[in-house]
Structure 1
Amino acid sequence: MQSNRAGFITLTAMCAALYAVSIVAFSFIPTPWGIGHFRPTVVIPAFFAFLGGPWIAAIGAAIGTFLGDVVGLWPMGLSNPLLSLVAGVPANFLGFLLFGYLIKRYNTLQDFVWVTLLALIVGNFIAGMGVAFSLGILIQAVGDLSLTGRLMIAIGLMLYWVVTMLPFMYVLVPLLIRYLSPIMPMAIKMQSGEVPGIGVLAIFVGIILLAFSYLVGFPLKHFFVLYFNVEEAAIFSFIAGVSSIVLGAISPRVYEKKI
């Protein structure tokens, strides 16, 4: 019993520490709304969901996101401790708890695709709602703060975070599990021919992000400037788009063996 408890605490602490460090490392790339940031390292709690189960992933993600927000995002004006407790902590906890429980039951590569999408939508919508309803209270805000306006902000944040996280989850999580399979208590059941589909999906998302980066930065700049920082949006989308295309392009090569 004590051994299981020690293992639980150790894995949770590792998940939290790695996630916090990764948040600090990417804190210099904010979202177009100036709240939160580019977070490809959601793969860390997802990996720990396979390694230790849903509670380790959920608690580790919640603690890690709070530490990362305080150390990395707060000094840059992208978050604060109260906002983290209202938005980031519950979003990460519930999102990865859902991911962990579902992936234990549904663990083919096809299941992994929809489980990941569902968990990211749920978690990021919670985060977006937390941010939207904290505007003017925990953080400074301008513009439409009506119920409809806040809901649109929440949906916008959710969509942006989901789209930029998906390619990393789809490519890097199975990759980590494949190469660390000797220590994994569970894995993704992969069928022949499924990996190229994941790569194509990542490339498709990357192309959409690059197109958005171009539209925001040039022909539609005058329109989008009314809603968010277009320079940050263009840079953010370009980085995420290039990363997605690269991940998609290399995925068939790195998955030559089945998981």
Structure 2
Amino acid sequence: SGTPANFLAFYMLGYLLHEKFTWTRFVTVGVITLIIANFVCALGVLMYFILTGIFPVNLPYMFYLGFVIGLTLWWYVTMLPFLLFLTPVLLKATAKAIPQFMPEHLIKVSLKREFPSKTLSGVLVFSGIGMAIIGLVMFLPGSEVLVVAYKPGVQQIILNGMRTMFLLTGGGCIATGAAFGILKLFLK
């Protein structure tokens, strides 16, 4: 299910950034693309699990919905840092190393001129708040349902790891977004 989602993600990124590439636009389009493509991938995983009998077809629809939303959010949390921090560096390095293969507008666009932007700060802060809320909700009774597929001896370890990942990633995004917002005020 990753192949259709990856194809969709790269197509969307290319199509939406083709003529008007800016780093602010890249962040906005990238976040939207992450959510949509991860949702498509999660639907594919769900279909695979149903078709192979891993999930019975008679489960409540809320289970399926929770599974798809959960996978989408989990992948979003794990991919967002790479999208926001690693991809721009790799694109700029590639543009310098092999400029003949890069569009002219991508070579000329400046990271320094656009960063830190309000858009990047907002994406980080709001994503971080969402991640932190999910991490906190995972402390509510009933959250053990997220790890029922694991052996009893490791269920609590995995659940604590999930809580920690959402809380730390959320806190890191909030802190980084706030720092970028404050930095933007001083750079005016």
TM-score by length of 2: 0.65
Closer/same/farther in 2, CA of residues 202 and 144 from structure 1, 3 Å limit: farther
Alignment of 1:146-165 (within 5 A): 146=60, 149-165=63-79
| Partner residue, 1:99 | 13
User: How much does 1:102 deviate?
Assistant: 2.4
Of 113, 116, 135, the match for 1:195: 116
Q: Per chain length, whose mean CA-contact separation is higher, i.e. which structure has more relative contact order (CA < 8 Å, sep 6+)?
A: 2
* Preserved CA contact (<8 Å) 2:50 2:57: no
User: How much does 1:96 deviate?
Assistant: 1.6
Distance 2:57 2:136 in 1: 25
Alignment of 1:1-259 (within 5 A): 87-138=1-52, 140-141=54-55, 145-146=59-60, 149-183=63-97, 184=99, 185-186=102-103, 187=106, 189=109, 192=113, 195-197=116-118, 198-217=120-139, 220=140, 222-226=141-145, 228-229=146-147, 230-245=159-174, 248=177
For structure 2, the residue ranges without an aligned partner over 5 or more in a row are 148-158, 182-188
Closer/same/farther in 2, CA of residues 144 and 159 from structure 1, 3 Å limit: farther
C-alpha distance after superposition, 1:63-87 (max 9, x if no partner): xxxxxxxxxxxxxxxxxxxxxxxx1
Aligned-residue Cα RMSD (Å) equals 3.7
* Preserved CA contact (<8 Å) 1:196 1:251: yes
C-alpha distance after superposition, 1:148-203 (max 9, x if no partner): 64344223322332344334312332233345541352428458465242135324
Distance 1:112 1:127 in 2: 21
SS in structure 2 of the partner of residue 134 of structure 1? helix
TM-score by length of 1: 0.50
User: How much does 1:133 deviate?
Assistant: 1.6
SS in structure 2 of the partner of residue 141 of structure 1? coil
Number of equivalenced pairs? 165
* Preserved CA contact (<8 Å) 1:167 1:247: no
For structure 1, the residue ranges without an aligned partner over 5 or more in a row are 1-86, 253-259
C-alpha distance after superposition, 1:3-22 (max 9, x if no partner): xxxxxxxxxxxxxxxxxxxx
Greater share of helix:
2
Closer/same/farther in 2, CA of residues 93 and 193 from structure 1, 3 Å limit: closer
Report percent identity of matched pairs.
27
